[in-house]
Structure 1
Amino acid sequence: MAAEVQPLQPLRLAAGPAPTTPDQRYWARFSSQLQIPSHHSNPITSITTPQIVPSSSLPSQNALDTFAVTSGSLLQIFSSRTRKPLKNITRFDAGNTARSAHIRRDGRVVVAGSDSGLIQVFDTSSRAVLKTWRERKQPVWVTRWRQNGPLTDLMSCGDDQGVRLWDLTEEKSVREFWGHGDYVRAGEWMTSAGGSDAAMIASGSYDKTVRLWDARVGEGKSRGNVMTFAMAAPVEAVLPMPMGTTLLASADSTVAVLDLVAARPLELLRNHQKTVTSLALASHGSRVLTGGLDGHVKVFETTSWKVVAGSKYRSPILSLGMMAEGSAQEDKHLLVGMQSGVLSIKTRLSGQQKAQAKEKEKEMQALVEGRIEEYDMKKSSRRRKKGKMWERNMRGKDYTGEGADIVIDGNARGRLNNLKHHAPWEKALRQGMYEKALDIVLENNNRQAQLTLLTALKHRSALRTALKGRDEVTLLPIIKWLIRAINDPRCAKLTTDIGCLVLDLYSEHMGQSPEVDHAIRVLHERVRKNVELSQQAWSTLGMIEMLGAGG
C-alpha cells in the first residue's frame, strides 16, 4: 500500500519583538472618550478622586463611585458609573473661582476652597452649607480630608503662605504651620507603611521648597517642619506614594522623586516640555500619571521610573485623576481637566463592553435615521441564523466516546494519497519542479509559504537547483525577497545561505542588467547597515557585561 502523502508543516518563526508594549496596549484601551465642556468655558481647576489607602477605614461605596470637579465658581460631583454630574454646587462668592473640592471618605460631605479665602463644607445630598471658615482673605488652593483618623479632620493650603489644620466642630483652625516664604499651591496628607496615619502633611510652595509637617511636634511659629527639600523652581504639585517613604513633587517641567528615609532625591523625571501641573496614582500605586501645560499625560512605572505610555490632548492640562472600580479596584476612568474648559473622561472597556457599546451605537444611529424597524429585523435574522448554524454543527455528532480517555479516529487512507488538496507550490515541490515551486511562492507573496519552501529546499540540498539558470526577470524576485528578509534576525542564516548562492551563481553576469545591478546595490547597503547594527549591539553587550562584572 502506498504511503500517505502529508502536507508540509508551515514554518513558524520565533516571536519577534512586539511593536507595542503591554503598557502601551493597556493604556490604549482607555478609548471610550467623553468630553464635557464647562459652563462659560472656565478652566477645570481641579479633579479629586477617592484615595485608597491600606487601612481598616476604607471609603464608602458612595465615595468610591464619585469624584469632584471645580471650574469657575462651580463645584460638580460626578458619578463614575454614568459619567454624568450628580450635583452642581454654586454657593461661592460672586466672581470667585472654586478650587480643590474633596469628598470625604464616607461620601456624605465635600469641602472646597475659593479665591476669596473662603472654605466651605457641603452636604453632598442636599447641597446645604454645613460649615464656613473665613480666617484669611487670600486664595485657598488645597483642601483635603484626612484619609485616616477622625472624619472631622481636614487641612488647607493657600496664598497666605500657611498650612492649616481644621476640625469640623471648631470655628477656627486648630493648628497652623508657617515656614514657607511664598504661595503654597500644593499639599497632601501623608501615610506611613501599612496605611497608618502619621498626621503628617507634605506641602509645596512657590518659594521652591517642599516641606513635611508633623502635627505631633510642639507649637510655635516654625515648629512642625520636620523635613525640607530645595527645588529648582516653584512647586506645582506633590504626591505621596502609598508606602509613605517616597514623595513626588513637580517643579517647572521636572518631577522629583524624593526619598523621605534618606532625605534625598532618588530620580529627576524630565519628560515634559512645559510645567507639570498635576500628579496622580494608578494601578494600585505601580504607575504614576503626570499632566502638563504641554498637553501631554505621561505614565511612569515606579520601579525604574521610565515612561511606559502617554497621550496628547489639545489643550494645556491643569488637573488629572484616575478612578478605579470593582472589588479589585482596577483602573477604569482616566480624568483630565484642561485650560480650554473641557473635562475629558476616557474609559477602559472590556471586550464584551466594547461589543455592547458598538451595538448600542448602531441601534441609536438607526433610531436617529428612522431605520429602527429594519435594524430590529436584521438583529432578529442574525439570531435565527446563529441558532440554525449551531444546529447544523451539532447534527450528526457522535458522542459515544465522550467518556473515554482516548479516542482514535480511523485513518482515511487514500484521501491524501494524491496532491489534490495541496497548494500549487507544494505540488510542484513533490514532483521535483523546484524552480517552478519557488516562482509560485514568490509571486503569491505569502511570507510563511516562502520560508517553508526555502527551508524545505535547503534541507533537500535543492536550493542551487531552484536558483540556477535564471534570467533577469526570474532572478529579480529572489533578490527583492532577500532585500525584504535580510532585516529579520530570525531568518538570518537562511537569507545568508541564499544570498551567497545567488552571488556564486550570478556574480560573473553582473553589469549586464541595470535592474539586477541596482537590486544588488540595495541588498549590499542593507547588509552593510545590518553588520553595523550587529557590531554596535555586541559593543553594547560588552559594556553591559563589564558593568555587571564591576558591580
Structure 2
Amino acid sequence: MFDTFRSSSKLINTFNAHEDIVWSIDYSTFNDCQFLCSGSYDAIVSVWDIDNNKQIQSFDEDVGDLSCVKFSSYHNHNNHQNVVCFSSFDGSIHFWDFKHNKQLKIFDEHTSGVSGIEFSSFNGDNTIRLWDVETLKSLYIFNGHEDEVRCVDMSPLQSNNNNESNNIGVIGGNGYTICSGSCDQTIRIWDIETTKQFNIFKGHAEVMSIKYGSNELLNTILSGSDDDNVRLWDIRSGKQIQVFNGHKDYVRAVEYSPF
C-alpha cells in the first residue's frame, strides 16, 4: 500500500476560483458523490463537486480571513445534513448548511484567531479546545505546545482488544486520540480520555497541516510545513517514512486520496 501511495504523485485536477491564499481543504462523500471544500484568505468558503469538476456553492459573508474548513461528520451522521464547519482568524467557528446555504451556529469563546478545527479546535494561544457541538460548551483545553497551534486532526476509531502494541486509537478507553501541529516545529499526539500527551514527532520546520491515515494507512500521519515538504510518519515506530518534495512554498493543507 505504501508503494501505491508513493507512486500516485501526479497532478489530476486543478480548481480555480479563490482570489487569495487557500489555507485549508477537506474531502468527503455525500450520496456516493465526491466533494471538496476550501477556505481562503479571500474570506470565501467554496464547495466543489469533484466528479463534475465544478464549484457548487460558496459562503461569502464577512467573517474575516478563513483558516480552516471541515465537512461535519457529526451533522451528516446524526441529522443527515450537508454541513461545513469553518474557522476564522477573528476567533470564531461557524457551521454552514451548504445544501440550503444557511448558517447554523457560531462558536466565539476563543481569545485569539482560530487556526483550525477537527471537532476540537485550536488557536493562537498555543492551546487545543474540545467542544460539545450540541451545548456549544468547551469541554477541555489541551496545553503543551510552546508556540501557536496551526493544525489538528482526530484519529479514526479502533476498538480496544487488549492489544499491547502501540496502535493509534487503542490508547485510552474511548478509542480516540488527537494529533496537533505547531509553530514550535513539533507534531504531538494526545489521548482524549486522559487528556495527556504521549508522543512527539520532530523533523519539520513550522507544521502547517496534518492528517491521520485510514484503512491500510491507519497507523500513519501525513503532514505539511513551511519547509515546503510533505512528510509521512509511522505512529507505531515514531519514525518518518517518506518525504515528498516539489512544492516551492509553504504546504498549508494535506489530504489522503481514497484508494
1:65 deviation in Å? 3.0
- Post-superposition Cα deviations, 1:45-92, rounded to whole Å, max 9, x if no partner, equal 222112xxxxxxxx5417x43221222211122222433322221234
Partner of 1:128: 102
The letter of the residue matching 1:182 is D
Partner of 1:375: none
CA contact (8 A) 1:184 1:204 kept: yes
Partner of 1:80: 50
- Post-superposition Cα deviations, 1:183-227, rounded to whole Å, max 9, x if no partner, equal 11121111256897822111000011111111110xxxxx42122
Considering fraction of residues, name the structure with more helix. 1
1:45 to 23, 28, 45: 23
2:130 to 146, 165, 168: 165
Does structure 1 residue 239 correspond to structure 2 residue 207? no
Percent of aligned positions with the same letter in both sequences? 20
The letter of the residue matching 1:102 is K
The letter of the residue matching 1:239 is K
2:65 to 81, 86, 97: 97
Partner of 2:196: 224
The letter of the residue matching 2:85 is V
TM-score w.r.t. the length of structure 2 is: 0.76
Does structure 1 residue 112 correspond to structure 2 residue 89? no
Partner of 2:241: 267
1:177 deviation in Å? 0.8
What are structure 1's unaligned runs of at least 5 residues? 1-22, 51-58, 145-153, 218-222, 285-551
CA contact (8 A) 1:92 1:114 kept: no
CA distance in 2, matches of 1:280, 1:60: 18
1:117 deviation in Å? 0.7
The letter of the residue matching 1:236 is M
CA contact (8 A) 1:192 1:244 kept: no
CA distance in 2, matches of 1:36, 1:232: 29
Q: How does 1:159-198 map to 2 (within 5 A)?
A: 159-191=124-156, 198=175
1:34 deviation in Å? 5.8
CA distance in 2, matches of 1:113, 1:237: 15
Partner of 2:113: 139
CA distance in 2, matches of 1:88, 1:158: 24
Does structure 1 residue 214 correspond to structure 2 residue 191? yes
TM-score w.r.t. the length of structure 1 is: 0.38
Please identify the structure whose Cα radius of gyration is greater.
Answer: 1
The letter of the residue matching 1:100 is C
1:180 deviation in Å? 0.7
The letter of the residue matching 1:244 is L
- Post-superposition Cα deviations, 1:400-443, rounded to whole Å, max 9, x if no partner, equal xxxxxxxxxxxxxxxxxxxxxxxxxxxxxxxxxxxxxxxxxxxx
CA contact (8 A) 1:193 1:244 kept: no
1:202 to 168, 176, 179: 179
The letter of the residue matching 1:234 is E
The letter of the residue matching 1:228 is I
- Post-superposition Cα deviations, 1:450-500, rounded to whole Å, max 9, x if no partner, equal xxxxxxxxxxxxxxxxxxxxxxxxxxxxxxxxxxxxxxxxxxxxxxxxxxx
Q: Aligned pair count? A: 230
CA distance in 2, matches of 1:211, 1:34: 32
Q: Which moved more, 1:234-243 or 1:275-284?
A: 275-284
Go from structure 1 to structure 2 and tell me whether the alpha carbon gap of 1:44 and 1:271 turns closer, same or farther (over 3 Å shift): closer
Go from structure 1 to structure 2 and tell me whether the alpha carbon gap of 1:216 and 1:85 turns closer, same or farther (over 3 Å shift): same
1:239 deviation in Å? 2.3
2:39 to 49, 70, 79: 70
Structure 1 residue ranges (4+ consecutive) displaced by more than 6 angstroms after TM superposition? 194-197
Go from structure 1 to structure 2 and tell me whether the alpha carbon gap of 1:79 and 1:42 turns closer, same or farther (over 3 Å shift): same
What are structure 2's unaligned runs of at least 5 residues? 1-6, 160-167
CA distance in 2, matches of 1:181, 1:165: 19
